[in-house]
Structures are given as C-alpha cells and as structure tokens.
Chain A
Amino acid sequence: MLPNRDSHFSLSLSALSTPHIRRHSLHTPLPPATVFIAILIFISTGARLFADKDILIIKVRERMAHRLLRDAEADGWERSDFPIICESCLGDNPYVRMTKADYDKECKICTRPFTVFRWRPGRDARYKKSEICQTCSKLKNVCQVCLLDLEYGLPVQVRDTALSIDSNDAIPKSDVNREYFAEEHDRKARAGIDYESSFGKARPNDTILKLQRTTPYYKRNRAHVCSFFVRGQCTRGPECPYRHEMPVEGELSQQNIKDRYYGVNDPVAMKLLSKAGEMPSLEPPEDESIRTLYVGGLDARINEQDLRDNFYAHGEIESVKMVLQRACAFVTYTTREGAEKAAEELSNKLVIKGLRMKLLWGRPQAPKLESEVSDEANQQAAVTHSGLLPRAVISQQQNQPLQAPPQPPPMPYFNIPPLPQHERAYYPSMDPQRMGALIRSQEGSSSGPPGSNENRSGSEQQHQQAQQYGYPEHGAPSGSILPTILPAVWPHGTASSSAAV
C-alpha cells in the first residue's frame, strides 16, 4: 500500500526517527513467537479513504499458529493489511495506533481465523477490535467492528429492506457450507475476479437518505458499563475504566451478532424501520400565501449558494435569507407550489455538507394589535423575523438577553422582543419593496445581514419602477405578513421615495 500523498509521507517519516520504531532487526534476542515490526500505512484502499488519519500499525505477534501452518493459510485463514471499518469506529483522533495480529481470533460469523486489528478510537473510548473477517464484511458491505453499513451507517436489515437488496439467499449459514462459501469468495476476491457486488450499484433511495447517519457517532465507542457497579460492588473507584452508570435495559439489549449480520430479527433494525414508516411529512399550512421555508441546523460552513443549489430544483427561489445568529435560513419561493414541492421532497432528507437540516414552514407572526403603536414597537415586530420563525424559536429568543436597544420601550406584545435600533429590512417579507410597501431611505441603515443588504440593493434598483404599483398595493391587507409594519413605513416611505425619484 503505497502512500498517495508525498508531503504527508515525509512528515511521518520524521516523526518516526526514534530508532525503536524503525524496522527491528531480527537478531535482537526476542522470544521466538514475537516479532515487532512497525509499519506505517497510509490508507488508500478502495472507497474507504482515511486520508486525514495517520495510522501507525504495529504487528504484535505471529501466533504460535505460524508454526502449525503448512503453507500460507491452506485452510483459508485470512490475512489482511488494514481493517474495513467505518468512521465512527475509527474514532475522532487523527492519530491512531493500531496493533495487528495475524490469525488472532476467529471470525464471529464464519469462524475462520483472521487478522485482528486493535486500536483505541479516541481518548474517551475503549479499545475496539475487528470482530468479523474481511470476507464476511465485504459480502455485506459492513464495518468489521460494528457490523453497520459502510456508507449509511445502518444495520444490515434496514439497508436491505430500504434498498430491496437480498443477498441472504446466496450465503449459506451452516457449518461446512458456510466455510466453503467464504473460502470460495475469498479466493475469488484475491484473484481479483469481480464477483457481483450489488452494493456499489444500488442507487440511493429516499428512505435510505432519510435514515442514514450523517455524522459519526462516537457514543458507541464508550467503555462498557461496569457490571460491578451495577451490583454496587465496584472497589476500583475512580480508576475504574468502565462506565459507572446504570445499564439501559430494554428490548434493544438482546442483540445477536449473527442475527445482525444476516439481517434477520434485529431489534434495532425493526425499530428504525417502524420509525421510518411514520416519519411525519411536512404538511403545508392553511395560510395559502406562505411560500417560505424555515431551514434549521445551519453551520458556519454553509453559505447561501449551498442553499440555493439545494432548493432551486423545486421551484424558482425568490430569496434566501440566512440568519447565522440563529443558525437558520429562510428560503422563499415565488410560487406556493414551488415551496410545497420543496417541502415534500426535502423534508427529512436535506443534508448539506454532512449536516442534517431541519425543514419547517415559515409561520406568520402573532396577531397584530392596534395600529397606533409606537414606531419602535413596530420595529420590534419586525425583529421577530417577520414572524417567519416557528414559535418555539421565538420563545427561545425572548428568553435570551438580546442586545438592549438604548431604551427598551414598554412592550405591549408578549411575543416581541425589543429591536436593536438599526435593524432594517431583515427579511424578505419585511422588505417593503416585496410586500408592496414603499421602502424608506437606506442611508441611515447600518449592518443588516448581508443577505438583506443585497436584497435591498437589488430592490432599490427596482424600486424606482415599482414605485407606482408599490403605492396602491399598500392598501392590501390580505395575507400580508406584516400588516403593522407597513403603516409605520409608508409615511416615511412616501416622503423619501418621492424625494428619491
């Protein structure tokens, strides 16, 4: 396995300058059954690239078995160079030290001896080792340690039902048949004959996309529960490496490795499948004018272009407004159908840059009160993001201390937090140009979100043309999301717009 990144390679070589890590000369007086060789391996096998991890593998020992072995594994014993494992099992640490022991244990499925790799996937993790041999793991395309699918992180049963693959009838499950099958398979794989592996060709399906795990799940690498603690007898105290928690009992605790591998009678899989069946779909709200979708779970890495790329397919996007402060964004379509289509398609499946997004409909604000409210109160109304945030988020927001405006004015509305004075046209629906109201002059405005800025500049150009039909429209109350903001804006708007023209 040759390194595929030269700079990476030289870096590690220098790290290896300590003599004991170099290849040991075998004339050091070591007991005959143990051989210590350090092998630095950069992984570039097949689809599994752990290129960001630096993995040092030390060959721990050749079993006594090597003396009994006639010639290289005539019995079909397996030997390999690197384990087939998923990201969660490999751990979060970019530096991994692994030991490798040839023929150390039997595969839990086919009971053939195979090469066992053992490592620690991170600081707070227990040591993990490969449980099944590579042949078995390739047959089902699963991780050698956790027996979950390599691409989706799902149990075999879930993946098979979701993709309607059935590999089970080909694999014999009993005794000699199984060994023979495994051996044959192994031999073919080594000879390079491409057996029909259905896993590469399966197209990702809706259901699978909904169910898959998008980020590595490191909780499964925690230490096991201290069984002495459960009985109240743990005398090791603080140095006990096992978890001092009560175990979670339940139906999911009775799992069997063979059942999980063959995809039969797996309680976790059945729970996941039933959950998938009932995943709520996003129903469109009754208010027909809402064409805005709320996207939650954003991150700093996601930018507007990513959102546009994901949403353009379902309809024409009118605007995308990102609120990084609340890790969310609002995508508004020009047509209601576009929004509905997007909601339907993306509802549980939106994953951008590895992060799963939560998709909801934008909601209108709480019902408006009398119009003779102060200017500031109206601006406060504006800051609830023009009511596009789901109520849960709004209440969260009002619990947080907001940057206080110079004088937080008395708030007649329960729902509206005070507005920082310089907030402007924060959302597209607040943008008076869009709602048909007239825009007031922009000179005073300081930083709004960049999205709103560009919206405003865009709207400013159109503003001149739109002015005529902007004006009559402001009377329209129907379905407009911001009835109260408009009265406050119009008087100024008219003045400045006429001045601007």
Chain B
Amino acid sequence: MPKVKTNRVKIPEGWELIEPILSELQATMREAENDPHDGKRKCEALWPIFKIAHQKSRYIFDLYHRRKEISKELYEFCLDQGYADRNLIAKWKKPGYERLCCLRCMQPRDHNFQTTCVCRVPKHLREEKVIECVHCGCNGCASGD
C-alpha cells in the first residue's frame, strides 16, 4: 500500500484549559441544530445558530485579543479548526463593529436599498426600541449600546 499521509492535528499547549468550554459550546450548537421548529417562525428557528456561533467566536476573540491568555499559535489553531469565525473576528477589530452580531447584518448587498440591518442602528436613533432583527434575532449590535 502506498504511504498515505494523514494530516494529524498537532494540538498546541494551553488547549486543555479552553477545551471544556469549547466543547460545551459545541454541544449547545448541536442541540440548537436539532431543535424542533415548532412554535417558531422560519427565521426564528435559525437564530440560536447565529447566537451560538457569535458566542464561540466571542470567547476565543476575548481570550486572545482582550485578555491575552492564549498564545497566537493556539488562537490560530482554534480558528483553523472552526471553533471561531475568522471573518467575524476581523470585523470586531474594526471601530464601530465591536459588537457585530453576524456578518449578514452589516452587508448592504443583502438588503434592499443597500442599507444595513436595523439591529445596526443605535437605539437612540431608532423609532422602535424593541426589535429582533430578522437574520439573527439580534436586539441591537451598534457599538454605542
């Protein structure tokens, strides 16, 4: 048999510390995926997915960029393995987008009139105070509030 090269993942140090939380988050994600859709609107059924994805990415982003508790290697490892969304984190580094809920809400191409989702509008500029954005169920992700 020819030699089959398998790519074995080399786990960097520090992984054991963050691994329990990450697997917990993965478990909730799986639950959200398997939830029945009864009593929920079509778009509403997807909201937990976006919420948990945001949470996972947030955890890793916080660890590396804010609290600086993990190494760059571990951080990159997490991103590569899909525990966090690289593109979303890239947005969080930009001013004004620190609390962005998901990538769809700020994409003008996805909306009529090339605007952003209503959740990006700060509460003091909005007319309706309580909203749930239709993409991800976000209540308001403007950096001000």
Which residues on A are within 8 Å of B, measured CB to CB?
20-21, 30, 36, 38, 56, 58, 60, 97, 99, 123, 235-239
Contact = CB atoms under 8 A, between A and B. Distances in A.
Contacts of A123: 127
A239 B113 contact: no
Nearest to B132: A239
Given A239-B130, A239-B131, A239-B132, A99 B112 contact: yes
Q: Which one of B39, B108, B127, B130 has the greatest number of beta carbons of chain A within 10 Å?
A: B130
B114 A36 contact: yes
A-B pairs, 3 with minimum CB distance: A238-B130, A239-B130, A20-B114
- Chain A interface main SS type: mixed
B127 to A, nearest CB: 6
Most A Cβ at <10 Å: residue of B112, B113, B129, B132 = B113
A238 B127 CA distance: 13
Given A36-B109, A38-B114, 17 more contacts: A20-B108, A20-B114, A21-B114, A30-B109, A56-B113, A58-B112, A58-B113, A58-B114, A60-B112, A97-B112, A99-B112, A99-B113, A236-B132, A237-B130, A238-B130, A239-B130, A239-B132
Contacts of B131: 239
B101 to A, nearest CB: 15
Contacts of A20: 108, 114
B138 to A, nearest CB: 12
B16 interface: no
Nearest to A235: B39
Most chain A CB within a 10 A radius of its CB, from B39, B108, B109? B109
25 contacts: A20-B108, A20-B114, A21-B114, A30-B109, A36-B109, A36-B114, A38-B114, A56-B113, A58-B112, A58-B113, A58-B114, A60-B112, A97-B112, A97-B113, A99-B112, A99-B113, A123-B127, A235-B39, A236-B132, A238-B129, A238-B130, A239-B128, A239-B130, A239-B131, A239-B132
B9 to A, nearest CB: 34
B36 to A, nearest CB: 16
Nearest to B114: A20
A59 to B, nearest CB: 11
B48 to A, nearest CB: 15
A123 B126 CA distance: 11
A21 to B, nearest CB: 7
Nearest to B39: A235
A306 B94 CA distance: 62
Q: Range of interface residues on chain B? A: 10 to 19
Q: Is the interface of B mostly helix, strand, loop or mixed?
A: loop
Interface of B: 39, 108-109, 112-114, 127-132
Nearest to A58: B113
Contacts of A97: 112-113
A235 B41 CA distance: 11
A339 B112 CA distance: 59
A406 to B, nearest CB: 49
A20 B127 CA distance: 25
Nearest to B40: A235
A104 B113 CA distance: 18
Nearest to B128: A239
Contacts of B114: 20-21, 36, 38, 58
Contacts of B130: 237-239
A358 B131 CA distance: 44
Contacts of A60: 112
A2 to B, nearest CB: 23
A97 B112 CA distance: 10
Nearest to A30: B109
A236 B41 CA distance: 10
B109 to A, nearest CB: 8
Nearest to A20: B114
Nearest to A29: B109
A60 B128 CA distance: 26
A227 B45 CA distance: 20
Contacts of B113: 56, 58, 97, 99
Contacts of B132: 236, 239
B103 to A, nearest CB: 16
A234 to B, nearest CB: 12
Contacts of B128: 239
A278 B75 CA distance: 81
A126 to B, nearest CB: 13
Nearest to A36: B114
A238 B130 CA distance: 7
A393 B131 CA distance: 46
Contacts of A237: 130
A60 B110 CA distance: 11
Contacts of B39: 235
A47 B109 CA distance: 36
A238 B139 CA distance: 12
B105 to A, nearest CB: 16
A42 to B, nearest CB: 18
A485 B39 CA distance: 76
Query: Which interface residue of A21, A123, A238 has the most chain B CB atoms within 10 A?
Result: A238
Nearest to B127: A123
A46 B127 CA distance: 36
B71 to A, nearest CB: 37
Contacts of A239: 128, 130-132
A61 to B, nearest CB: 10
A282 B108 CA distance: 60
B47 to A, nearest CB: 13
A191 to B, nearest CB: 34
